[in-house]
């Protein structure tokens, strides 16, 4: 079984936005399960981290929330992406790729000059 790691600083918002973009509105538990599933269970998602991140994204206008009945007939808060959230997802995705490319250039084998 792979070793589980914590979510890296600055990546949770991107994972939440990407999850909502891919699957549509979900409740917090569904978002957490999808992130863990997508990571092939290599990530551990702490709910003490998830819910403050959801609140922050909602306050920034990137997601909206409303109360609905869940699959098991319980009341749950569902989160959905806004137009601003789609723009933020595109911006963060672009920035993540730029950062990954930069770091990869430092990790690539170097040839002697």
φ/ψ bin of 37: left (φ > 0), alpha (ψ from -120 to 50), beta (otherwise): alpha
Sheet holding 26-27, edge to edge: 26-27, 75-81, 63-69
Average pLDDT over residues 37-61: 92
pTM, rounded to two decimals: 0.87
pLDDT average, residue stretch 1-19: 80
Alpha-carbon distance of 99 to 47, in angstroms, equals: 27
Rounded to an integer, what distance in angstroms lies between the CA atom of residue 74 and that of residue 95? 38
Question: What domains appear along the chain, each with residue ranges and CATH number?
Answer: 5-107 (1.10.10.10)
Q: Give the pLDDT of residue 5.
A: 66
pLDDT tens digits, one per residue of 12-26: 999 999 999 999 999
Query: What is the per-residue pLDDT across 53-111, written as a single tens digit (0 to 9) for each?
Result: 999 999 999 999 999 998 888 999 999 999 999 999 999 999 999 999 999 999 988 76
């Amino acid at each position: 079984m792979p070793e589980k790691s914590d979510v890296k600083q600055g990546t949770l918002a991107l994972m939440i936005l990407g999850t909502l973009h891919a699957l549509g509105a979900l409740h917090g538990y569904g978002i957490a399960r999808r992130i863990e599933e997508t990571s092939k269970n290599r990530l551990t998602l702490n709910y003490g981290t998830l819910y403050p991140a959801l609140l922050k994204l909602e306050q920034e206008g990137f997601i909206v929330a409303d109360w609905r009945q869940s699959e098991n007939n319980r009341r749950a808060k569902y989160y959905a992406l806004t137009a601003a959230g789609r723009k933020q997802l595109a911006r963060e995705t672009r920035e993540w790729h730029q950062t990954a490319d930069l770091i990869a250039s430092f990790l690539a084998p170097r040839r002697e000059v």
